[in-house]
């Protein structure tokens, strides 16, 4: 067990912890919007940890150095696309008429949409 | 430290936990969010499997899986907005 | 800021595609490099019009330096955001106070707006819900200030000072 693979394994452990956190957030939170908040962020950071950690771990085990560049490609792809799918989903949720949680304090988007409709008429 | 099998088992348990929301979720969007998280977690699982079998070609499988999952979620979100 | 010339945009596309090729094949074999270079030339000829509007201006040293400084800052903000989320999920009473607020941005370019929206989504308790021109609608898990100025001060300012230089 050398230092490089120990670092990789530590990153994997870190990522697995955040995976659990995201699954737990999915179960515990009260409505769609808050679930998305907790789940998306933790899952993205967890993926970064697990995937880059795996690349480093493989290099530490004496495998080909291409592991790390390829795992960086996958990690960057996930980092770029996950927020976009979260944004598309939350917009679809709002447009399909799911109400905010009863404890929400402010909703500026509804005001802006009304304003826009009023302007067009 | 801990073996790679343990990490694989832990990630599989996290996937099952998010499957609970797919099963229970009161609305369609709840289920879709849970599926999105499941695919993200499964990508990590595939990368770890590549290390388990020591085959670099499996990393390409994970990359293609990530691309397809992203496209699928975007298509469903467009459908929810009524724009498809 | 107007569009750059065709040649500058084409060269920029070739450089970016070649770097992606290098990362994907992860080999420095001469044959691989040759075929990758030829493929980048061909693909860039079809796609440069969609790919970029700024061309080689994106590779200005000041922009690259700011981008390099932005990555660790962003990763740090992301880790802090996740610890915050961890606190909210694991706390037995679920201390949340959600709502949708509005923010203004000073960024002009589309790529800059996209990166700002992505950065907002990944950092403390906020998800971008919709963008109309320069108005961002953001779902915030813990609303501290529901006015437009206060929310902009809290959410978008820290990223804008980097992204303003990187994307213009």
The pLDDT value recorded for residue A120 is: 45
Binned average pLDDT, 10 residues per bin, chain C of 168 residues: 70 86 83 89 84 70 80 84 80 74 74 78 76 76 69 70 71
Q: What is the mean pLDDT of residues B63-74?
A: 89
pLDDT at C1 (0 to 100): 46
Enumerate neighbours of B (3 or more CB pairs within 8 A).
A
Residue extents of the structural domains in chain A: 3-120
Residue C53 and residue C34 share a domain: yes
pLDDT in tens, A28-52: 877 777 788 788 888 888 898 899 9
| Average pLDDT value for residue range B46-67 | 88
| Confidence at residue B25, expressed as pLDDT on a 0 to 100 scale | 72
Residues C54 and C65 in one domain: no
In angstroms, rounded to a whole number, what is the distance separating the alpha carbons of residues C58 and A84? Answer: 23
Secondary structure (H, E, C), A82-109: HHHHHHHHHHHHHHCCCCCCCCCCCEHH
Higher pLDDT, C62 or A120: C62
Q: Are residues C32 and C77 in the same domain?
A: no
Q: What ipTM does this complex have? A: 0.83
Judging by DSSP bridges, how do beta strands C135-140 and C99-104 pair with one another?
A: antiparallel
**Average pLDDT of every residue of chain A:** 80
Evaluate if residue B12 carries a pLDDT over 60.
Answer: yes
Token pair recorded at residue B19: 């499957």
Which residue is closest to A88 within chain C, CA to CA? C129
CA distance B18 to C69: 35
Boundary (domain end) residue, out of C38, C59, C80: C59
pTM attached to this predicted model: 0.84
Interface test with C, best of A32, A84, A105, A120 (most C CBs within 10 A): A105
Q: Which residues of C touch A108 (CB under 8 A)?
A: 100-102, 137, 146
C49 and C70 assigned to the same domain: no
The CB density around residue C122, as the number of other CB atoms within 10 Å, is 23
Domain shared by C114 and C146, yes or no? yes
C80 shares its domain with C122: yes
Together in a domain, C51 and C65: no
- Interchain CB distance below 8 Å, A91 and C130: yes
Instruction: Compute how many other C-beta atoms are within 10 angstroms of the C-beta atom of residue A51.
Output: 30
Same domain, residue pair C67 and C139: yes
Q: Note the pLDDT of residue C150.
A: 67
The residue ranking higher by pLDDT, C23 or A104, is C23
- Nearest residue of chain A to residue C98 (CA atoms): A104
CA atoms within 13 A on the CB side of C58: 19
Neighbours of A92 (CB within 10 A): 23
Task: Give the mean pLDDT of B25-46.
Answer: 86
Compare A108 and C85 and report the one with higher pLDDT: C85
Same domain for C82 and C162, yes or no, is yes
Which chain A residues are within 8 Å of C20, Cβ to Cβ? 73
Q: How far apart, in whole angstroms, are the C-alpha atoms of residue C168 and residue C164? A: 5
Whether residues C104 and C145 fall in one domain: yes
Q: How far is B61 from chain A (nearest CA, A)?
A: 10
CB contact under 8 A, A109 and C102: yes
Residue of A97 and B59 predicted with greater confidence: B59
Q: Give the dihedral sign, CA B84/C112/B70/C50.
A: positive
Q: Write out chain C residues lying below 8 Å of A25, CB-based.
A: 85, 89
The shortest C-alpha distance from C162 to chain A (Å) reads 18
Last residue in a domain, options C17, C38, C59: C59
Residue C47 sits in the same domain as residue C81? no
Q: Average pLDDT, stretch A86-96?
A: 82
Residue B1's pLDDT is 56
- Phi and psi (nearest 5°) for C141? -80, -20
Judge whether C104 and C148 are in contact, CB under 8 Å.
Answer: yes
- Measure CB to CB from residue C143 to each of A84, A94, A106 and give the nearest one: A106
Number of domains in chain C: 2
Q: Residue A22 and residue B41: Cβ atoms within 8 Å?
A: yes
- pLDDT at residue B18, as a whole number: 84
Distance from CA of B42 to the nearest CA of A (A): 9
Q: Percentage of chain A surpassing pLDDT 90? A: 1
| Stretch among A106-120, B51-65, C93-107 having the lowest mean pLDDT | A106-120
Residue span of the structural domain in which C149 resides: 61-167
């Amino acid at each position: 067990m050398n230092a490089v693979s120990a670092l990789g394994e530590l990153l994997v452990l870190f990522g697995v912890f955040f995976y659990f956190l995201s699954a737990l957030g999915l179960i515990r939170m009260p409505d769609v919007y808050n679930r998305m908040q907790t789940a998306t962020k933790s899952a993205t950071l967890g993926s970064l940890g697990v995937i880059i950690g795996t690349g480093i771990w493989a290099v530490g085990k004496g495998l080909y150095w291409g592991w790390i560049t390829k795992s960086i490609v996958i990690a960057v792809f996930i980092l770029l696309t996950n927020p976009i799918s979260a944004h598309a989903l939350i917009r679809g949720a709002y447009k399909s008429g799911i109400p905010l949680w009863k404890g929400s304090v402010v909703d500026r988007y509804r005001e802006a949409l009304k304003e826009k409709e009023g302007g067009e008429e | 430290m801990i073996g790679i099998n343990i990490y694989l088992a832990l990630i599989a348990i996290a996937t099952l936990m998010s499957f609970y929301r797919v099963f229970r979720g009161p609305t369609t969007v709840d289920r879709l969010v849970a599926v999105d998280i499941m695919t993200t977690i499964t990508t990590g699982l595939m990368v770890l499997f590549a290390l388990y079998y020591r085959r670099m070609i499996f990393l390409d499988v994970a990359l293609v899986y990530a691309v397809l999952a992203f496209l699928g979620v975007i298509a469903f979100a467009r459908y929810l907005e009524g724009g498809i | 800021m107007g569009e750059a010339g065709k040649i500058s945009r084409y060269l920029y596309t070739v450089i970016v595609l070649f770097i992606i090729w290098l990362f994907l094949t992860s080999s420095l074999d001469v044959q691989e490099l040759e075929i990758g270079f030829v493929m980048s030339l061909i693909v860039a000829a079809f796609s440069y019009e969609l790919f970029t509007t700024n061309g080689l201006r994106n590779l200005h040293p000041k922009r690259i330096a700011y981008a390099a400084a932005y990555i660790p800052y962003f990763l740090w903000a992301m880790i802090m955001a996740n610890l915050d989320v961890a606190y909210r999920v694991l706390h037995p009473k679920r201390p949340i106070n959600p709502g949708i607020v509005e923010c203004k941005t000073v960024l002009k370019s589309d790529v800059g707006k996209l990166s700002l929206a992505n950065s907002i989504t990944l950092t403390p308790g906020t998800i971008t819900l919709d963008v109309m021109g320069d108005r961002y609608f953001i779902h915030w898990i813990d609303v501290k200030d529901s006015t437009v100025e206060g929310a902009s001060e809290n959410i978008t300012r820290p990223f804008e000072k980097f992204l303003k230089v990187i994307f213009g």
